[in-house]
Amino acid sequence: MGLVYPFPSLKTSVAAKEIRLENCLGKTVLVVGSGGREHAIVDALSRSPQVSKIYCAPGNAGIGEKAFNLALKDTDVEGLKAFALENKVDLTVVGPEASLAAGIVDAFRQEGLAIFGHTKAATAIESSKEFAKELMAKYDIPTAAYCSFSDFEEAVAYVSARPFPAVLKYDGLAAGKGVVIAQDLDEARRALADMLLDKSFGDGRVVVEDFLTGPEFSFLCFVDGERVYPMPLSQDHKRAFDGDKGPNTGGMGAYTGLPFITEEDRRFAYEEILCKTAKAMVSEGLPLSGVLYGGLMKTPQGIKVIEFNARFGDPETEVVLPLLKSDIYDIFEGVAMGNPVKEPLWDDGVTLGVVLASKGYPGAYEKGFDILGLEALDAKVYHMGTGIRDGRFFTSGGRVLMIVSGGKDLADAREKVYREIEKLSCENLYYRKDIAHIAFE
């Protein structure tokens, strides 16, 4: 399958980084971001025969094996732009939404620098829930019925007349706490008072929408205006513990090869949701030029949009990009320059990835524990929150590592990934044992 690469030892990978540097004719790429998602992007770029040098800002300890990490924040637009100009960066690839929302794409394009990512204005498809809902209503893109409010009494009147549970979404940055699923009117009143009267998150509006049911999944596409290149579908596991129990996290694992999605479902989602949305954004004068991530749900009434993101998902990217057989540089460059891209080719196997998190995450946790055995793993290893001292990795974040295996089917990939994880030793990590459980029920 060509999916599983042994994790390179520090020594070999530093040597590999140097050898690639001798190929001066190759392209220089700057990746912006610091998580497992950016590690997967750097890894995919490192497989491109055209790419000779990769910088990552700020990167992380694992990324440092394949790229040169820079001491620049992902939102330091001026610093990143100056670096790209000075170092003759051929192409910049943006991971986080915060960088897009800070206007990195607009600033780079003004200088004539090639960059993969959406303009600040187009990023509204993720940063404003109201913008996304209005777009879907206007262009007949399937999503939950909704109404948005700035007035508390009007919001309460609307929610009282709708079925429960009700979904209340603060329309702005809320550090992942802006969505409340209210089971009854009392709970809805309290949440609305918190958002609209006490303004706990700021002065934003609230979108109130109907509660939908069904399995959620992620559909990521590379988008350049009306050109939409689909990636394999994936599913994230947001809860901390087995059986989808416990608090919400940034994602505890993901897999491709979704057993509950038919080819007809996929075609519908591609044509009626992703392509239609790309076209709608062009009609609105806000063409997309990066990744459009549909957070979708397969409801009894068909596939509907829960949310859009304007970037690669994390941890979805870590299971999707290892399947890419085409040269990712061609895709990034084509989209960044507005040129058509050859339809990307994907391996027809599947992938399954498990996140190793610090005990206590997503609450308080300790850091600084050595991670032993990484070099012996026969799997892809993406770093999310690690540090390095004396040539040895240690835990330095909530989500620490993601281990990904490929296989001919999910049972095969699952068996491999959990077998490899057993080889690691670190006293302060935990992980879910049931990634892709829906496939085995």
Which range of residues in 133-141, 308-316, 393-401, 426-434 is near ligand GLY by CB under 6 A?
308-316
Closest residue to bound ligand GLY by CB: 313
Q: Which has the closest alpha carbon to 329: 24, 3, 27? A: 27
**Shortest reach from residue 12's CB to ligand AMP, in Å:** 40
Q: Which has the closest alpha carbon to 206: 100, 109, 128? A: 128
- Spatial separation of the C-alpha atoms in residues 69 and 58, rounded to whole Å: 6
Q: Give 416: exposed, middle or buried? Use CB within 10 Å, 0-12, 13-18, 19+.
A: buried
- Spatial separation of the C-alpha atoms in residues 417 and 421, rounded to whole Å: 6
Contact, 143 vs 210, CB < 8 A?
no
Q: Which of 90, 171, 209, 314 binds ligand AMP (CB under 6 A)?
A: 209
Number of Cβ atoms within 10 Å of the Cβ of 391? 8
Residue 220 near ligand AMP by CB under 6 A: no
Nearer to ligand AMP, 94 or 207 (CB): 207
Residue 353 near ligand GLY by CB under 6 A: no
Q: Which of 127, 309, 386, 405 binds ligand GLY (CB under 6 A)?
A: 309
Residue appearing with tokens 């075609």: 267
Residue type for position 146: Y
Number of residues that bind ligand GLY (CB under 6 A): 6
- Spatial separation of the C-alpha atoms in residues 389 and 286, rounded to whole Å: 45
Residue 349 near ligand GLY by CB under 6 A: no
Q: Which of 316, 318, 327, 420 binds ligand GLY (CB under 6 A)?
A: 316
- Spatial separation of the C-alpha atoms in residues 390 and 88, rounded to whole Å: 32
**Shortest reach from residue 299's CB to ligand AMP, in Å:** 9
Residue 319 near ligand AMP by CB under 6 A: no
* Strand, coil or helix: 183: coil
Q: Which of 100, 212, 356, 404 binds ligand AMP (CB under 6 A)?
A: 212
Token output for 324: 């890419």
Residues in contact with ligand GLY, shown as a per-residue x/- string from 225 to 264 under the rule CB under 6 A: -----------x--------------x-------------
- Spatial separation of the C-alpha atoms in residues 417 and 406, rounded to whole Å: 8
Residue 89 near ligand AMP by CB under 6 A: no
**Shortest reach from residue 160's CB to ligand AMP, in Å:** 18
Residue appearing with tokens 């080889």: 423
Token output for 441: 């029920």
**Shortest reach from residue 220's CB to ligand AMP, in Å:** 15
Binding site for ligand GLY (CB under 6 A): 236, 251, 309, 313-314, 316
Binding site for ligand AMP (CB under 6 A): 144, 167, 169, 179, 209, 211-212, 216, 295, 306-307
